[in-house]
Amino acid sequence: MAETTVAIVTGAAGGLGRATTEALLGEGHRVAAFDVDHGNLSDLAGQYPGDLQLVEVDVTSAESVDNGMASVVEELGPPAFLVNIAGTNRIAPLAETTDELWDLLIDLNLKGTFHCCRAAAPHMRAAGGGRIVNMTSNMGMRPEAQQVAYASSKAGLVGLTRALALELAPDNITVNSVAPVMTLTKRVAGLPEWWKDLQLSKIPFGRYGTIEDTVAAVMFLLSEGGSFFTGQVLSPNGGDFMA
């Protein structure tokens, strides 16, 4: 494992991204926050001067990711951790899933993670190791109707994770996924009530997931306790599905 404690979090200004960024900073890591809009992180930048780098990155663009990675390496050093959280969701039946909607979800949820993994891996390899955590979803493991594009993008992340885990294991790089059940982030709160009620009815614990549930799973995989986990899907889901 590389000695450096530089972490990159994508989608860092979202609810889950910010919470993960805070957790990493709280443990003494230096964090590069990748996002297209860092408005939700301005206060953290003031609290952690020198330890939090706000980097404007569009993960759907390979050029933007590569430029952002170069900035991180120059300013903070090579990344030891990469947490890919950038993503979005839309609910639409097949007949209403346009090419534009399909491309949006595949590009942001799957291709964006691919871009970031490809950019980070050489630096981790050169440094002697690293940890990658990709944010998938219970929908990637237990798909639902009217989620064809979203479920496809998140299932693709599971395949990406497992293939990269095999490829990068000789370089002492772990690659895992976290697959939370529906979590009431600001983005999810805006989804239709009928949809949220349906998801809640499927969770044996009788509650939605929390951001803290998911962050705890991420931080475990980045900890020494997670050092022998790779190619795995860790799912804080209250019994929503069991694999």
- Rounded to two decimals, the pTM is 0.93
Residues catalogued as catalytic: 150
Residue 64 makes CB contacts below 8 A (sequence gap 6+) with 57, 58
Task: Give residue-wise pLDDT tens across range 151-205.
Answer: 999 999 999 999 999 999 999 999 999 999 888 777 777 778 887 888 888 889 9
pLDDT of residue 21: 98
pLDDT of residue 173: 98
pLDDT of residue 186: 75
pLDDT of residue 243: 66
Residue 241 structure tokens = 């599905």
Question: SS in 3 state form for the chain?
Answer: CCCCCEEEEECCCCHHHHHHHHHHHHCCCEEEEEECCCHHHHHHHHHCCCCEEEEECCCCCHHHHHHHHHHHHHHCCCCCEEEECCCCCCCECHHHCCHHHHHHHHHHHHHHHHHHHHHHHHHHHHHCCEEEEEECCHHHHCCCCCEHHHHHHHHHHHHHHHHHHHHHHHHCEEEEEECCCCECCHHHHCCCHHHHHHHHHCCCCCCCECHHHHHHHHHHHHCHHHCCCCCCEECCCCCCCCC
Task: Give residue-wise pLDDT tens across range 88-97.
Answer: 988 899 999 9
Cα dihedral value 105, 111, 114, 115, nearest 10: -120
Would you say the C-alpha torsion 109, 85, 168, 72 has a positive or negative sign? positive
Any idea which residue has 């947490």 for tokens? Answer: 83
pLDDT of residue 1: 40
pLDDT of residue 17: 96
Residue 119 structure tokens = 């950019």
Confidence of residue 11 (pLDDT cuts 50, 70, 90): very high
pLDDT of residue 222: 98
Task: Give residue-wise pLDDT tens across range 119-147.
Answer: 999 999 999 999 999 999 988 888 888 89
Report the alpha-carbon distance of residue 143 to residue 103 in Å, rounded: 18
